Each structure stands twice: as C-alpha cells, then as structure tokens.
Amino acid sequence: MGGFHEGHLQLMRTARTECDRVVVSLFVNPTQFGEGEDFERYPRDLDRDAGLAESVGVDVLFAPTVEEIYPRPGSTIHVPVVSKLWEGAHRPGHFEGVATVVCKLFNMVRPEVAYFGLKDLQQCLVITRMVEDLNIPIRLSLQPTVRESDGLALSSRNAYLTKEERSLAPSLYKHLTACKDLLKASKLTHDEVDEALKHAKFQLEDEGFRADYFELIDLESAHSIRSIAMPCAIIAAAKLGKTRLIDNVVV
C-alpha cells in the first residue's frame, strides 16, 4: 500500500537477491478499509516510493489506479474461519478485501514467488489459506518483521503517532516477547497461559493502550489456544490515541 519503510525495502531486497525480476505492487486498496478507517489519510507519495523501490533494484513498480483495479463492483474471495477472527472480527470485510485484491494482483503480475511481511501475520495466514484453497500456482515467502531499535514493528501507520505515543509504542512488542519467553520457559497449565495473556493485556491498558486483543493462536486456523504444542504465535492489537497498532511474535 505504499508509504514504503525499511520493512517493505527489506522484502524488496530479499526478492532482488532471490529472483530474476522483481515487481512491486503499490495500491492503497479501498475495499480493505472499513467505514471511518484511514483510507483517505493513508500516506501516499508515489514519487518517494518509486525512488525507494528503484534504490533497492526493483524492476517494475506496478501502481494501478482504483478504477483500473475496480472498474465496477466485482467478484470477491471469501477465506473461511481465519478471515473472521481477530482483525477480521474487528474490521468486517477487511480480509475479503485483502484476499480479493491479492488474487487480482497475483493474476495481473503472475509472480513465481510472492513476498509478504509477517508483521501482518493474520494477513499472511489468510493469503496462505487462499493460495492453498484455490490452488494458486505461486510460492509464498513470508519474511520476518523489521523493527526499530526499540522493538516497535515498522508500519506506515507509525507516522500517525504523537511523540508521546511513539515513546509508549514499543511496549506492545515488549509484552509480546515477555509473554513468549514465559510460555517457552516453563510448562504452563491452560489456566496459567490464560492468566499470562490477560495480565499482559491488563498491563498494556495500564500503560495507556486500549487493547483489542492479546492472544495465543495456532498458525493453521488462527483459533485461540492455551498451550504451545502446535505452531503458534501471540498476536496483539492495541490503540494509542487514534492509532491502532498490531504486532505478533511467533512462538
């Protein structure tokens, strides 16, 4: 969606080292924004983004207009279960918009490999599921979240934070890693896991966040779980002022 930061550039550099041709799509997709979300004020600076993409060796910057992508209301893709939880519950229709536009971009660009950042973990799960379900002949490469030195996950939306909010923001990641360390250090009961997650959420609230969720999920279904037997992650979403931050750690 543009507003390129080091997280995006790292994806591009990785693709550059692994692929013959690198195409970057830049499209602020209206269908994945809900009512009252930041579609209008989302950072847009095509010249800056084009310069950054070029600087890391991208071959093609594909920046279609809304009219090119959506000449009229069209077909949509519904990814079950994982689309409806967490971010999907908080942002109805969001992952339907994501899945549909990603499918369209895949068909337009026809990459062999597509790179996504794990910062948007649930988005990665939705796209993984869509690719499997619809037999889309593309390999997904999910790349680690790039962070500021204080741990804050890079995001275009960080630009919305006030100075005070920015100083608080890294706490989200601190609680995620602390909770992960706790879960991995000792074999907790289901009740203790539940308690640890609730405690972290409470602490965030205490520090001035408004936490939407702080959850342990399995990486297949995105369902909430209470033990780390299977591949899983801790995911969190919390608001600081008007800005909603999401982050996660894979356990």
The 3-class secondary structure across 97-109, one letter per residue, is HHHHHHHHHHHHH
Q: Which entry of 8, 90, 190, 223 is annotated as an active-site residue?
A: 8
Closer to a second copy by CB, 66 or 134: give it: 134
Closer to a second copy by CB, 32 or 145: give it: 32
* Buried-exposed string 191-204: b where 16+ CB fall within 10 A, e elsewhere: eebeebbeebbebb
Q: Smallest distance, Å, CB 124 to a second copy?
A: 15
Closer to a second copy by CB, 126 or 211: give it: 126
Look up 78 and say whether it is catalytic: no
Q: Smallest distance, Å, CB 231 to a second copy?
A: 17
Indicate the angle between helix axes 121-133 and 94-109, nearest 10 degrees: 60
CA–CA dist 204, 215 (Å, integer) = 13
Closer to a second copy by CB, 106 or 209: give it: 106
Indicate the angle between helix axes 190-207 and 171-185, nearest 10 degrees: 160
Closer to a second copy by CB, 85 or 179: give it: 85
Q: Smallest distance, Å, CB 75 to a second copy?
A: 4
Q: Smallest distance, Å, CB 151 to a second copy?
A: 34
With beta carbons less than 8 A apart as the criterion, state whether 233 and 224 touch: no
Q: Alpha carbon of 74 to those of 62, 183, 227: distances in Å? A: 21, 45, 41
Q: Smallest distance, Å, CB 102 to a second copy?
A: 11
Residue count (the chain): 251
Question: What six digits make up the tokens of 222?
Answer: 């995105």
Q: What is the contact surface with a second copy in residues (CB under 8 A)? A: 73-80, 99-100, 103-104, 107-108, 110, 129-130, 132-137
Residues annotated as part of the active site: 8
